[in-house]
Every structure is written in C-alpha cells, then in structure tokens.
C-alpha cells in the first residue's frame, strides 16, 4: 500500500474528527461526495451523521469515541483511495478546506525519549528533524574551576 494513501487516510480520519467535534458543518458535510462514483454517497452521509452523533453524545473526558471514529474513517478513506485513486485530489482539497475552517485540526505529534543508563544517548525522529536540548548541569559538574575563569 502506498505511503501517500496511508498518510492521507490517517490525516483524513484525524482532521474529520476535529471538524465533527464542532458539528457537522462546512467542508465535513461534503465528505460523502467522495463516494459518488461507487454509488455509496447516501450510505456514507448516514455514516457521517452517525459519527457526528457519537462524538456529540460522548463525554468530553472520554477521548475513546474520537479515537474510534478516527480509525473508522481512516479505514473508509484508505479503502476509497485504493479503489478510486481519482478521489485523492478531491480528498486533499476537502482536508485543506476543513483545516481552514478548523485550525485546531492541525495534527501535532510529540515524542518523549528517555535514556537512563550512564553515558547513554537516545534519539528519535518523527517527520524529519531532531532538536537536542541538554539539561542544565548540576552544580559542580561541567563548570570550570574558578582559577580558570578569571574569577
């Protein structure tokens, strides 16, 4: 499976959940049109309504509903893109519209890595860059003796 399809489907599920959390409006309402060539537009519209209700009915302190809905729509979008590659451009435009309407839909990933063995290093990367931030040295470690600093 193409990495582009996988990435686009994942982003679609995530952005859609953020958009649906504010109500089924704007670009999110146009999503079922992507299935018109498969003749499933009405069924997908009903599924979208059901997903919006599920998110609206779930307690805010329980993020499970959002994760479930995102995975369901990620799977649907992946299947659509595999059977109808022409839908890719439409989906990309629809996601751009949803991100404009819902700026909070931008996906951010944070990764925390800890190395605890003496003299160990651990690094990881998501999306292509690493930023290293050394912790402040404890007092007495790494400091020059006062005679060498001119103090």
Q: Which residues of the chain have pLDDT under 70?
A: 1, 104-112, 124-129, 131-132, 137-151
Angle 137-142-148 from CA coordinates, rounded to 5° = 135
Return the DSSP state at 30: G
Domain count, the chain: 1
In a domain, 72, yes or no: yes
**Whole-prediction pTM:** 0.66
Residue pLDDT, tens place only, 31-55:
999 999 889 999 999 999 999 999 9
In a domain, 133, yes or no: no
In a domain, 45, yes or no: yes
CB under 8 Å to 138, separation ≥6 — which residues?
none
49 is in which domain, residue-wise?
3-104
In a domain, 126, yes or no: no
């Amino acid at each position: 499976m193409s990495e582009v399809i996988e990435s686009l489907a994942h982003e679609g599920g995530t952005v859609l959940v953020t958009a649906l959390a504010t109500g089924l409006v704007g670009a999110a309402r146009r999503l079922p049109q992507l299935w018109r060539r498969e003749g499933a537009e009405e069924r997908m519209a009903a599924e979208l309504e059901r997903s919006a209700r599920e998110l609206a009915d779930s307690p805010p302190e329980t993020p499970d509903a959002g994760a479930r809905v995102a995975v369901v729509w990620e799977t649907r979008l992946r299947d659509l893109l595999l059977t109808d590659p022409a839908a890719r451009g439409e989906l990309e435009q629809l996601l751009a519209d949803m991100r404009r309407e819902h700026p909070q839909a931008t996906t951010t990933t944070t990764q925390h890595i800890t190395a605890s063995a003496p003299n160990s290093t651990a690094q990881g990367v998501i999306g292509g860059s690493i930023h290293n931030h050394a912790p402040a040295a404890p007092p007495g470690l790494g400091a020059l003796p006062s005679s060498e600093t001119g103090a």
